[in-house]
Amino acid sequence: MSRLGNVGGRLYRGEVSFNFVGRQKLWYTISGAILVISLAALLILRLNLSIDFKGGDLFQFKVPAGVHLTQTQVTNTAIKAGAPSTTIVQQVGGNNWNVQTETIGTTQQNDVTRALAHAAGLKTNQVSLQAVGPTWGGQISQKAFEALIAFLIVIVIYLSVAFEWRMAAAALVALVHDIVITTGVYALSRFEVSPATVIGLLTILGYSLYDTVVVFDKVRENTAGLLATRRTRYSDAANLALNQTLVRSINTSLIALLPVTAILVVSTFLLGNGNGELKDLALVLFIGMLSGTYSSICIATPVLADLKERQPEFRQLAKQITQRATSAKRQAKAMAGAVATAPAANGNGGQAANGNGGQAADQVPEPEPDSELELESDLAQDTGAQAIAPVSAGRPGGATSDARAGASARQQPRRTTSAQRRPSGKKKRR
């Protein structure tokens, strides 16, 4: 079995454990800092929306073989022809170029078209022009927002029915966490937000939720009957469930990230800078999967544990377990102190024994006899002596008495240890 498999087995059995739930303040601090930065970037820098959302004009052309253009040359050519300074130039593949501008007039459109055709050595009709209105981008945004709200409502209802409302609330917190962080990364990095980005964002929400539901199902299994056994706190049982599914979560995330990373690298470096839809989709999936894995482990379960331990019954359970642990520590400390003082007492006793010539060390206290057994033995001896006395008339009384006493002693031996005595009040069965 591999080393990772061994670690997974030990995590599942609870032999090793990482206290994710107990470090919730650390995770909350890290996530809070990232969320503040993301919200600030969204409010100050805002998202870099593509032409599909904000509208504008898109010029597309393909450079023939033997003609070499740079991004700077194409940008300067378009701006000199009348395009605004915010013009975005992208090289798609090896010879294809996209020039995005804000909405400009017909005259400016013709001037930019002629300038680009001349720079690329093409005819004017070989440069295509596509005018995209902001209405279409607004419709995409509205539909995406409606889909997101419907998705969240359905998820909350499902989790509330299948699990409980506290698990639904924790999962919703993790989803909002992933959305804000992903959009914040786009605002900070100035990546362009396209319709493919919106599709990818909705996809990562489902992925993050899937991982969270798997962990919650194990939490529900571990916490069943917790109030009846009263052996562990809810947070400890939830942390055990999290460790039991940790290796699975990591393996699932790595397997999912490998193809997404490959698509992102190929679309960015091999297919050309700014390869449109493929790059946008891969980028949002990559960021969202990383954030979703982190939130399902470090955010969803700690939030659930905090919500559950606010309930009176689980709060009382945690208090009782804490009191038992404190009492056990005190007893262990007292026993340790008694063991520490024992060597000193043994040393003093040894000196006293040596001073008396070693006689005290050799003396072993004899256990106290069982008074009830002695009484029965004496009664038996007296009764036997009275019954046999007339028959042994010619023999010396002392010898007969001694022999009978010895026989009685052999028939009813005296107990020599306290462990072999019968409880007081109970007579020997004949």
Number of folded domains that form the chain: 2
- Does 207 share its domain with 159? yes
Do 74 and 117 contact (CB within 8 A), yes or no?
no
Q: Token pair of 33, please? A: 């800092």
Residue found under tokens 């020997």: 428
DSSP per residue, 284-344: HHHHHHHHHHHHIIIIIHHHHHHHHTTSHHHHHHHHHHHHHHHHHHHHHHHHHHHHHHHHH
- Does 76 share its domain with 188? no
Q: Order the strands of the 88-92 sheet from edge to edge.
A: 88-92, 96-101, 56-62, 128-132
Distance of CA 250 to the CA centre of its chain: 11
Question: Bridge-partner residues for 57, per DSSP?
Answer: 101, 131
Sign of the alpha-carbon torsion through 258, 260, 263, 266: negative
- Does 154 share its domain with 206? yes
pTM: 0.66
Q: Which of 38, 56, 55 is nearest to 47 (CA)?
A: 38
Question: What pLDDT is attached to residue 347?
Answer: 53
Q: What is the pLDDT along the chain (430 residues), one digit of tens a residue?
A: 456 556 656 666 656 678 899 899 999 999 999 999 999 999 998 888 887 787 888 899 988 888 888 888 999 999 999 898 888 888 776 688 889 888 888 899 999 999 999 998 889 899 999 887 767 667 777 887 888 888 888 888 988 998 899 999 999 999 999 999 999 998 998 888 888 888 888 888 888 888 888 899 999 988 888 888 778 888 888 998 898 888 888 888 889 899 999 988 887 777 655 456 788 888 889 998 999 899 989 999 999 999 998 888 888 887 888 877 787 777 787 788 777 776 655 555 444 444 444 443 344 444 444 444 343 444 344 444 443 344 333 444 444 444 444 444 445 555 544 444 555 544 555 4
User: In 3-state terms, what secondary structure has residue 200?
Assistant: helix
Domain boundary among 297, 319, 341: 319
With respect to residue 193, please indicate whether it lies within any of the assigned structural domains: yes
- Does 81 share its domain with 180? no
With respect to residue 113, please indicate whether it lies within any of the assigned structural domains: yes
With respect to residue 222, please indicate whether it lies within any of the assigned structural domains: yes
CATH number, residue 85: 3.30.70.3400
Q: Cα separation of 168 and 161, whole Å?
A: 9
Q: Token pair of 53, please? A: 């959302």
Residue 332, amino acid: A
- Does 310 share its domain with 169? yes
195 contacts: CB under 8 Å, gap ≥ 6: 50, 52, 140, 277
Sign of the alpha-carbon torsion through 224, 20, 167, 29: positive
Task: Read off φ and ψ for residue 101, nearest 5 degrees.
Answer: -130, 165
- Does 164 share its domain with 313? yes
Tally of residues, the chain: 430
- Does 171 share its domain with 24? yes
Question: What pLDDT is attached to residue 37?
Answer: 95
Question: What pLDDT is attached to residue 429?
Answer: 52
With respect to residue 213, please indicate whether it lies within any of the assigned structural domains: yes
Question: What pLDDT is attached to residue 343?
Answer: 61
Q: Cα separation of 42 and 36, whole Å?
A: 10
- Does 29 share its domain with 60? no
Residue 249, amino acid: S
Q: Token pair of 6, please? A: 């061994």
Do 314 and 234 contact (CB within 8 A), yes or no?
yes
- Does 89 share its domain with 237? no
Question: What pLDDT is attached to residue 171?
Answer: 92
Residue found under tokens 């917790």: 226
With respect to residue 358, please indicate whether it lies within any of the assigned structural domains: no
- Does 156 share its domain with 299? yes
Residue found under tokens 């890290």: 30
> Vertex 389, ends 386 and 395: CA angle to 5°?
150
With respect to residue 400, please indicate whether it lies within any of the assigned structural domains: no
Q: Cα separation of 214 and 245, whole Å?
A: 8
- Does 119 share its domain with 157? no
Do 54 and 90 contact (CB within 8 A), yes or no?
no
Residue found under tokens 């003082």: 341
Q: Which of 185, 189, 153 is nearest to 172 (CA)?
A: 153
Q: Which of 107, 108, 87, 109 is nearest to 99 (CA)?
A: 87
Domain boundary among 132, 166, 190: 132
With respect to residue 263, please indicate whether it lies within any of the assigned structural domains: yes
Domain boundary among 284, 319, 354: 319
- Does 90 share its domain with 26? no
With respect to residue 201, please indicate whether it lies within any of the assigned structural domains: yes
Q: Cα separation of 71 and 77, whole Å?
A: 10
CATH number, residue 308: 1.20.1640.10
271: domain range?
20-49+136-319
Question: What pLDDT is attached to residue 383?
Answer: 40
